């Protein structure tokens, strides 16, 4: 399956960052949905299961690692890529232990993210 067919969910409480990232991905032909909290992410996943979730680790309310635990317990086939700040490398490593596909440091390079999404989708049988 082509990258354009991969169902991607972005989860980050930084609205401007999320909107900009989604716009840049859409300009490359990808289908992206955005939510801004862990609670919204769980509702969106239940309503329309994504192939790949790209998610910030540090958010108010439900944290990225809590959402990751829930995703892996209920939908283990969904691939999760975590985004973390420079000080969050430990969170990224913890996420890998919990079943995340990978993690990237913010600020991130779009091409690096797209490469990880392609790899994650291939594991999930989508790309």
Looking at residues 23-30, what average pLDDT do you find?
95
Q: In angstroms, what is the C-alpha Rg of the chain?
A: 13
Q: Is the pLDDT of residue 11 over 60?
A: yes
Query: Which domains does the chain possess?
Result: 3-75+84-124 (3.40.50.2300)
Q: Is the pLDDT of residue 86 over 70?
A: no
Distance, CA of 94 to CA of 100 (rounded, Å): 9
The whole-model pTM stands at 0.94
Distance, CA of 20 to CA of 125 (rounded, Å): 28
| Residues in contact with 12: Cβ distance below 8 Å, sequence separation at least 6, in sequence order | 18, 21, 34, 36, 55, 56, 59, 83
């Amino acid at each position: 399956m082509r990258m354009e067919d991969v169902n991607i969910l972005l989860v980050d409480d930084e609205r401007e960052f999320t909107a900009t990232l989604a716009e840049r991905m859409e300009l490359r032909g990808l289908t992206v949905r955005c939510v801004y909290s862990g609670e919204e992410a769980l509702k969106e996943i239940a309503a329309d299961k994504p192939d790949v979730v790209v998610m910030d680790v540090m958010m108010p309310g439900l944290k990225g690692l809590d959402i990751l635990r829930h995703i892996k317990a209920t939908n283990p086939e969904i691939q999760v890529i975590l985004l973390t700040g420079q000080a969050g490398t430990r969170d990224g490593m913890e996420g890998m232990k919990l079943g995340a596909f990978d993690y990237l440091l913010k600020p991130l390079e779009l091409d690096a993210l797209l490469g990880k999404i392609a790899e994650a989708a291939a594991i999930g049988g989508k790309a």
